[in-house]
Amino acid sequence: MFAQQLINALSLGSVYALFALGFTLIFGVLGVINLAHGAVFMVGAYAALQAVVLAELPIWAALVIAFIISGLVGLAIDILVLSPLRKRDAPHLIPMIATIGVAIMLNSAAQGLFGADTLRFPPGVVPDGSIEAGGLHITAVEIGIIALTIVIMVVLLLGLRRTSIGKALRAVAESPRAAALLGIDVEGLFRKTSFVAAALGGVAGVLISLYANAVYPLMGQPMLHKGIAVIILGGMGDIRGALIGGLFLGFAEVFAVAYIGSTMRDAVAFGLLFLILLVRPTGLFGKANERKA
Amino acid sequence: MGALLEVSGLKVNFGHVEAVKGIDFSLTEGQITTLVGANGAGKSTTLLALSGLVRKAAGQVVFGGQNITRLPSHRIVHLGLSQVAEGRAMLTKLTVRENLELGAYHRRDTDAITSDFDHVLELFPRLRERLDGYAGNLSGGEQQMLAIGRAVMARPRILLLDEPSMGLAPLIVQEIFRIIKMLNDEGLTIFLVEQNVRQALKIAHQAYVIETGEIVLQGTGEELLDHPRVLEAYLGI
């Protein structure tokens, strides 16, 4: 029973981590708390659902389509909303408020296009198979979620450490002005980051909708709150933090349900989060007194 | 030797304040040109405008015959105009090595980058010992050396230096000025903005004095060192 909970927690935590990853990337590089990230997550789920239902594509192709479409939505948000605000030197809170507007627009658009009802993936979209071993039950979806999250994490961490563009991104994260003086195309990196972050959010949306088998316009809202909690817990803008924070929340929720009761799930998870922040106010990987130049 | 950089009628506004009020100056290839003046006179603003980091309200900047007035910052760097900003713009969470590598971010000539890397470490041997440490752990003088070395890694045609002596001990200031002179001897054109008027004028071929956004004096470094107005206002004699 305990081992089974571990696996459930690992797959749920992986989705949270994947969602938080895009969220923390935008914050780390663009310095914006993107409250439209939950809506982008929803866009990814609908894109995959349409790809499966209308175009009858296999689920891996639907994931690719969700990646691209939600990435393009992220790109559009940067070009149409964030970039004009940057050019006008808008103070910090303004882009955040603007992304609330974007989220509302995307949610309404989804409702208008697809209705407010919860939609489901047709049966057989994901291989039904599961592994049974020693009383453990692991579904194909869970294996896919965990594997995909690990691969994406490793690629991002190595990419940021080892590649030239990774170094440039870390430079922009610390000081866009210093980066520009080094000949780094800061606006270009903002665009790329917006695309990748939203694309990861969209993929997380597909994964959770497969996991829970539910797609609905406001599905990003609870996720957004969890995402904020995860990146605050992990340390704002830190990728390892998003991973650890996401896993923590997944474990807290699953074990709260298993040993305390499902109604207490969020209360226990967020209560623990609060306790950790009391001990480490800057998050697990955040440094004290960090200020952006 | 013609002008490598030609600035005419440069104006910068901050809100309703005219920080730079239509100034003209030029940099001669292979020379050190300095822009000196008091705090708030418009020196840093001028440099940031050259690098495209603040908007120019009016005026034109021509670099090597090309109009760069409206180019974005990274394109200006790619053309060969590198700036060491005031306060050194350190990337404290990157290592010294990574900072230097980023200086050559847009270059693809791997062999030349390697030789420039070695050259920078010859200029600043102290950086060699700290290559894999974080830039944030360097002393102020070392950070200034890293900032200059990083700019040199771009292999610029013009190096813009914004108050390299700021906040440094006198001995370190001497060292920094010695290096600036050395880089110039290697053929690098330098535009030096300074509050340390005496030191700057001593090594400059050409000099401009800026007061409240306007250029009020110009001449060779030597001429201005003896100019009564400079003596009175900046050298305290």
- Name the minimum distance, in Å, from the CA of B216 to any CA of chain A: 29
Of A42-56, A273-287, B12-26, give the lowest mean pLDDT range: A273-287
Taking residue A291's Cβ as centre, other Cβ atoms within 10 Å add up to 4
CB contact under 8 A, B91 and A178: yes
* pLDDT band at residue A290 under the 50/70/90 scheme: very low
- Name the minimum distance, in Å, from the CA of B231 to any CA of chain A: 34
Of B53, B73, B91, Cβ closest to residue A174: B91
Which residue has tokens 């609870």?
A222
CB contact under 8 A, A187 and B150: no
Ordered structural domains, chain B, with CATH: 1-80+156-171+187-236 (3.40.50.300), 95-155 (no CATH)
Whether A52 and A230 have beta carbons less than 8 Å apart is answered as no
Residue B15 has pLDDT above 90, yes or no: no
Residue A135 has pLDDT above 90, yes or no: no
Q: Exposure of A12 by Cβ count < 10 A (0-12 exposed, 13-18 middle, 19+ buried)?
A: buried
CA distance A171 to A285: 18
Mean pLDDT value across residues A209-232: 92
Give one DSSP letter per residue of B208-226, joined into a string.
EEEETTEEEEEEEHHHHHT
In this prediction the pTM is 0.89
**Which residues in chain A touch residue B55, judged by CB atoms under 8 angstroms apart?**
none
Whether B189 and B22 have beta carbons less than 8 Å apart is answered as no
Residue of B nearest to A189 (CA): B74
- Name the minimum distance, in Å, from the CA of A277 to any CA of chain B: 24
CB contact under 8 A, A186 and B74: yes
Whether B213 and B23 have beta carbons less than 8 Å apart is answered as yes
- What's the number of CA atoms in the CB half-sphere (13 Å) around residue A151? 7
CB contact under 8 A, B91 and A186: no
- Amino acid at site B165: S
Helix (H, G, I), strand (E, B) or coil at B23: strand
- Give ipTM to 2 decimals: 0.90
Give one DSSP letter per residue of A162-215, joined into a string.
HSHHHHHHHHHHH-HHHHHHTT--HHHHHHHHHHHHHHHHHHHHHHHHHHHT-B
Q: Which of B55, B51, B50, B48 is nearest to B14 (CA)?
A: B55
- Amino acid at site A17: A
CB contact under 8 A, A181 and B83: yes
**Which residues in chain A touch residue B52, judged by CB atoms under 8 angstroms apart?**
180
- Name the minimum distance, in Å, from the CA of B102 to any CA of chain A: 7
pLDDT at B26: 96
Percentage, residues of chain A above pLDDT 70: 98
Residues of A with CB under 8 A from a CB of B: 164, 167-168, 170-171, 174-175, 177-187, 293
Q: Tens digits of per-residue pLDDT, B46-96?
A: 999 999 999 999 999 999 999 999 999 999 999 999 999 987 788 999 999
**Which residues in chain A touch residue B94, judged by CB atoms under 8 angstroms apart?**
167, 170-171, 174
Q: Does B128 touch chain A (CB under 8 A)?
A: no
CA dihedral A12, A15, A16, A17 (to 10 degrees): 120
Residue A291 has pLDDT above 50, yes or no: no
Whether B124 and B149 have beta carbons less than 8 Å apart is answered as yes
Give one DSSP letter per residue of B26-73, joined into a string.
EEETT-EEEEE--TTSSHHHHHHHHTTSS--SEEEEEETTEE-TT--H
Whether B100 and B136 have beta carbons less than 8 Å apart is answered as no
Q: Does B150 touch chain A (CB under 8 A)?
A: yes
Q: Tens digits of per-residue pLDDT, B115-138?
A: 999 999 999 999 999 999 999 999
Whether A248 and A256 have beta carbons less than 8 Å apart is answered as no
CB contact under 8 A, A171 and B94: yes
